[in-house]
Amino acid sequence: MKDVLLFSMVVVGLVAASGGSLQLGDSAPDFILPDQDEKMQRLSDYRDGWVVVYFYPKDDTPGCTAEACGIRDDYGQFTEADITVFGISYDDPASHRAFKEKYELPFTLLSDSDKQVAGLYGAKGLLMPKRMTFVIDPEGVVRKIFNKVDVAGHSGEILAAVKQLRLTD
């Protein structure tokens, strides 16, 4: 009986840690988070254009650096397409500032230190956020979710997805 109770507690804990299950067509949960300069950013302030919210595990690690630098290298295409990019991890603003400066990242990094936003998006991990990307249209609707991200080429996948979504609108 004790083993069954312990197993149930572990399962409940894992489900709670995994957060919500945001689906295509859902309204993107609004949030307010501090950026690398400790300025508060509200998602709903960007509802006039397309927004990419990508969750990543940790600043200045190999995979996260590759993903961020891929977006940096294609950033001109993001701005031409009027796409705002937010990278979110649990790291604090000072860590984000150093990461952004070291790799000359032209987009905003947000600190979700209490893991609440990751939970709302279903990207909450036990120690670090899951690597996930959400494409949000100008009305605030989730139009694409990347659950499995290959950091090499992900930037191009995002741009192609937004282009395709615009064609179907």
- Cβ(110)–Cβ(34) under 8 Å? yes
Among the options 64, 105, 128, 159, which is catalytic?
64
* Helix axes 154-168 and 62-73, enclosed angle (nearest 10): 50
Coarse DSSP helix, strand, coil percentages of the chain, rounded to the nearest 5 percent? 40, 20, 35
Q: List Cα–Cα distances, 119 to 15, 43, 123, 130, 147, in angstroms.
A: 11, 16, 6, 10, 14
Structure tokens at 148: 């499995």
Q: Examine the residue annotation and report whether 64 is marked as an active-site residue of this protein.
A: yes
Give catalytic residue positions. 64
